[in-house]
Chain A
Amino acid sequence: MPAPVISARDIVNRFGSQVVHDGVSFDVQRGEIFGVVGGSGSGKSVLLRTLLGLRRPDSGTVEVEGRVITAMAETELREIKRRYGVTFQHGALFTSLTLAENVALPVVEAMDLDEDALARLVELRLRMVGLPLDAAAKYPAQLSGGMVKRAALARALALDPALLFLDEPTAGLDPIAAAAFDELVLYLRNTLHLTVVMVTHDLDTLARTCDRVAVLVDRKVIVDTLPGIVDNEHPWIREYFHGARGRTVTAARKDVHGA
């Protein structure tokens, strides 16, 4: 079994006396789309920030591509951060820059290239995420929600990362845009061999894209394939996946098993 891309061991995160994660351990394999699910307050964002190196856990280690990021100094960590791409829940595009400038920014900061090469690279990223080229000169305030999400993904892909972190990528998108985004993520994973860690509430996205899912519950994590999770006995998991909105997931599972 090849070495996992991300390896989290015994992560403990606490805020004062409140413990959010109490010994969370899991691996993310290369090339998989790894979903992270949990109720509000279960610490999904905190976990994501821990994996990204934005937060040092109170104890435990995180290894990314074999390097222990929890033990690294800030400058070394910055180099690692260039190896992955991140999208944030509300896009987090720089509002005073155009779309083209946003997408070009990681490249501009990492190296010196002439304008023509930069423009071509921006065009590449826009095409990859399905944005029209005439959107390049627009400011984030002029873009629709779906376009902002795609633009954020374009920026995350700017340095051809091997690893992609998506925080609620389909939140706020209409079903058509959300489905298109799912297909995009799958396509990119298949063609670029990316590893994707996705925090999401969207059951349709989970069913369509994720190879394995980590459920944050009771300050620990349960990791399994989606069918395995759906069958899990834990009361919260049962309510999450078998409640009124769980139809898609259980139906998808039936398709896999029954087809």
Chain B
Amino acid sequence: MDFRAEYDPTGLRLELSGSCRMADLPALEPVLAQVRAEAPDALAVSLGKAQEFDIGPAWLLHGFLADLHGRGATVTITGELPEHFPYLDELRGREPEQAAPSAAAGPGWLVSLGQAIVERGKSWYGALVFGGQLLATTSAAVRSRKRLRIPSIVRHAYETGVQAIPIVSVIAFLISVISAYIGQQQLRPFGAEIFTVDLVAIGVLRELAVLLTAIMVAGRTGSAYAAEIGVMKLNEEVDALESMGLDPYEVLVLPRVIGLVIAMPLLTIVADFMGLAGGGILTRYLLDLPWPQFFTRLEAAIAPTTFWAGLIKAPVFGALIGLTGTLRGLQVRESSRELGRLTTVAVVQSIFLVIFADALFAMFYLQINF
């Protein structure tokens, strides 16, 4: 195929020889654009005999010739027009030309700000509605064993808890190894190395184990809850539940939240153990400390409150993550992009809320000397 536009003694001449398939468009289109740019008053178009034109290129040529006619240029054609032209005449004639909707000028910054504030307000209102609905559902559900959906709760506790044990163990172990290492480094110049044990034990039990477990669970379970429920919304499964007279909060949200609230403390205990193990092993070797001495120091360093301070936070974090994940899942509508966005929001907000709550707990404990 050979497309070209050039001037010859008679004027501007467009030569299209050979077949033109869709794949040849990148060669055809620039030539047509070139002629359009010249805006000639007269054009000679030279086509061969019975050339094979796909519909796409034929349409572009059709439009090109129509534009020229519209501008009053004289077009002389030698050779045969593509066989599709009668069909394309009919297509073009079918309805009046509608201009594609032009992109409106973007909103000013004040409008955007206002819109963002309204969106944020709606989001909080949505969360409020969610919370209220859930409370109503919970008070109804706890009265009946069937409505509490224990098999579902067990399933979620298993998936969010038991199946997370390996990853949570590894994370807790590694984090505590790192803090033992840093702690020992800093305490050595003061000859206070032995207090590394305290550092590890208190750090793990009060803060690190529960916080890192919660962050891991937020990523793992927060996204899973949001995505599962989000896809159910896209597939109209939630509508199906409602149309059967079932309450999606009772069927979908409550079991997930309760399952996670049960799983989190148990996971935290696992993390506590693995954290103590990791930090302990490193401390033992860094300090060259025999195990009996290690355990003596450990016993002296911690009190029951050390353990409970961390563990009490676990169900609270679990509830925050479960509620955020399910809330965002229920907000999904219409498109896969929304699903992706809301899953991301679920994870990010879960992590934020967990850390925020951790800070509140820290201040609270400080006040009551716990």
Provide the residues of chain A in CB contact with B84, threshold 8 Å. Answer: 191
Contact between chains at B26 and A120 (CB < 8 Å): no
Chain A contacts of B21 at CB under 8 A? 160
Partner among B55, B60, B333, B336 whose Cβ is within 8 Å of the Cβ of A96: B336
User: In the bound complex, do residue B337 and residue A160 qualify as a contact, i.e. CB atoms below 8 Å apart?
Assistant: no
B56 at the A interface (CB under 8 A): yes
What residues of B have a CB within 8 angstroms of the CB of A128 in the complex?
Answer: 55, 91
Q: Which of A28-36, A39-47, A136-144, A173-181 contacts B (4 or more CB under 8 A)?
A: A136-144
CB of B323 to closest CB in A, whole Å: 27
Distance to closest chain B CB from A147 (angstroms): 15
Interface string of A144-188 (1 = CB under 8 A from B): 000000000000000110000000000000000000000000000
Dominant SS among interface residues on chain A: helix
B1-52 with Cβ < 8 A to chain A? 21-23, 25-26, 29, 33
Q: Interface-forming stretch among B94-102, B125-133, B182-190?
A: B94-102
State which of A54-62, A106-114, A201-209, A224-232 sits at the interface with chain B.
Answer: A106-114
B59 interface hit (Cβ, 8 Å): yes
Contact residues of B: prevailing secondary structure: helix
Is the CB–CB distance between B56 and A134 below 8 Å?
no
Q: Tell me how far the C-beta of A249 lies from the nearest C-beta in chain B, rounded to whole angstroms.
A: 31
Q: Is B87 close to A, CB under 8 A?
A: yes
* CB–CB B59/A121 < 8 A: yes
User: Do A95 and B337 have beta carbons less than 8 Å apart?
Assistant: yes
CB-contact partner of A141 in B59, B63, B335, under 8 A: B335
Cβ–Cβ contact B22 & A107, under 8 A: yes
A71 touches B (CB below 8 Å): no
CB-defined contacts of A127 to chain B, threshold 8 Å: 91-92, 94-95
Please give, as numbers and ranges, the residues of chain A lying within 8 Å of B59 by CB-CB distance: 120-121, 124
A119 at the interface (CB under 8 A from B): yes
Q: How far is the CA of A60 from the CA of B23 in the complex (A)?
A: 32
Q: State the CA gap A139–B60 with chains docked (Å).
A: 26
Closest Cβ neighbor of B59 among chain A residues: A124
The smallest C-beta distance from A68 to any residue of chain B, in angstroms, reads: 23
3 cross-chain pairs, A with B, having the tightest CB-CB distances, nearest first: A96-B337, A95-B335, A160-B54
